[in-house]
Structure 1
């Protein structure tokens, strides 16, 4: 029996059924810790979903960091073809279902979800509840390295998600609904642990990405997410919405939540606050 394509979230039960099917998904572990960039790899080596492969936020889900006037934020996007080659090396085939998971409420898995869609691949979803949900369900893990399959035939398609540059966003301020996924105290500019200056992009609204989750760490029901985001959008359409955060990672969580809620067409500003706040000519706001 063929399984439906999953395009936003999957449950543990759904993933187990997919893994047992004749056409199993590619499962990718993107556990990471911004404060200890090797922690995810160590956790993967100790225990991971059977058959999963590991991708690293800094090395694989980001391009080289630039400095000076070419700085594009702490986690700039890699070149599309370079990332497509990374996925082929994991065996990704055209149309194959890919499932991403992490141990951080979906924040890194959502980045991978967005990036697959950016490459034109829509058969991608995030494991709801991540590694913790898998363990809580009593599903098995492995510490053995997954055997590398033959190189996949995945090829770039028409992008299903569109990034926005700082210059493009500056030209559209006031004409788009800009949603900032950072914690409220960072948005208000009371603290700034990571970037050059504190504050936010003028006109932005704050929707902390963890607002998409239940207390148990699962995504809220689609209808509830839809109502909450419509309240943030106000008179704006989802297609006139731009998402940002600190460095283009947690913003993808809001994009995933909106997509799950049927609100599509929003765009990502990948450079986010880390790029914006480093540009002396760009305006800043606080409060």
Structure 2
């Protein structure tokens, strides 16, 4: 049976629903209304799906200095996945209704703890609904505990490392936020506007076609090659406001065949919490 490691289409997922080797997670969320995802889950979801909350399940404890969505302890995250029935042989699929904005966070986190068989439903819940596939309101069935083992996974970069490499030729920072926030305009989520000096802007929604699905791999590759310039994928560090939409850019790079980029989990919300760190404004 094939393993999905980036994206999966709705009809393909439908053929494997109910298989003991598959766990589907609903990651729907709204930053302005954190309870909306669970409400949407209760109103209708992919059959057999289980709900994960961005703030409660896919983030750790905030200190005021580690960003709005710090990573949880990796062992605690592995334990949570086991409670949901995930083992080393489990195919995980994540979806949302925001173009993969939140599902990509779970995709990246599982790769962070060394689990390869994880994919995002391309087009999310809208693609599932538009394909006239079944929608459930039944409570999720209990699953036997999984046996997922934490293994070495994708790497991260911290603020001190970024600070030491600002403007260096061996590291290129890519910011996934909208262009106005990158420039320091219309900032409503964080107390300081602007971006990390030397960063370039690649809005995560530019990875998507008009129907909310990811653009074809060759189209993504061409666009991302322009972002990389002379840098290799391994020299790329992706960040955003809080380490969530940066994962969308990392997923797009994987779809494009450009593996090896890293995440700065704390992202802008962590960076700007220390007034000693430099801030850039404008488009450069």
Distance 2:236 2:142 in 1: 39
Which residue in the other structure is 1:46 paired with? Answer: 43
Which residue in the other structure is 1:11 paired with? Answer: 9
Distance 1:98 1:198 in 2: 36
Which residue in the other structure is 2:166 paired with? Answer: 173
Distance 2:20 2:58 in 1: 25
Which residue in the other structure is 1:124 paired with? Answer: 118
Query: Does residue 153 in structure 1 map to residue 150 in structure 2?
Result: no
1:129-278 mapped onto 2 (5 Å cutoff): 129-159=123-153, 161-175=154-168, 176-278=171-273
Runs of 4+ in 1 over 6 A off after TM superposition: none
Which residue in the other structure is 2:100 paired with? Answer: 106
Distance 1:77 1:170 in 2: 20
Give unmatched runs, 5+ long, in structure 2: none
Aligned length: 280
Distance 1:14 1:103 in 2: 18
Q: Could you tell me whether the CA contact under 8 Å between 2:110 and 2:118 is conserved in 1?
A: yes
Q: Matched residue of 1:144: which SS? A: coil
Distance 2:21 2:234 in 1: 33
Shift of residue 13 of structure 1? 1.3
Please give the TM-score of this superposition, normalised by the length of structure 1.
0.96
Distance 2:200 2:228 in 1: 9
What is the aligned-residue RMSD (CA, Å)? Answer: 0.9
Shift of residue 95 of structure 1? 2.0
CA deviation string 1:35-85 (max 9, x = no partner)? 000000011011111101000000000001113xxx110000000000001
Distance 1:116 1:168 in 2: 23
Which residue in the other structure is 1:35 paired with? Answer: 32
